[in-house]
Amino acid sequence: MAEQTRAALDDWASRHRPGHRTTAEAAAALGLQVYDTAIPQDWANAVADATGIYPPGHVVWCYDGSLSGYPVALTEDGRRALGRWAAGRRIT
């Protein structure tokens, strides 16, 4: 699924022009079924602190196949923020 999501994101991002697409259109292009534009504030702050990109508007919280949800990037800035945030995480 990750490869399909990435391919859909790449396709959508290549055609994305700010102000011309809605969140619903972007989520549909990625095949998301259950999502929320309200993301956890603590998580948003942590991502912003780590990456310098504030994720609201660039990321939605997806609940497809997950009770607690997970972030999905809708824009290139969202993708960049998630990549930088994930790269900076340490598993201990």
pLDDT in tens, 20-62: 468 888 888 888 999 998 999 999 999 999 888 898 888 999 9
pLDDT in tens, 5-17: 666 655 655 555 4
Q: If we measure between CA atoms, which residue out of 92, 5, 2, 88 comes closest to residue 48?
A: 88
This prediction has a pTM of: 0.69
The one-letter amino acid at 87 = A
**Count of domains forming the chain:** 1
- Residue 45: domain span: 2-88
Which residues in 50-60 are b (16+ Cβ under 10 Å) and which e? ebebebeebbb
> How many angstroms separate the CA atoms of 24 and 27, rounded?
5
Which residue reads 């259950």 in tokens? 34
> How many angstroms separate the CA atoms of 85 and 77, rounded?
12
The one-letter amino acid at 55 = P
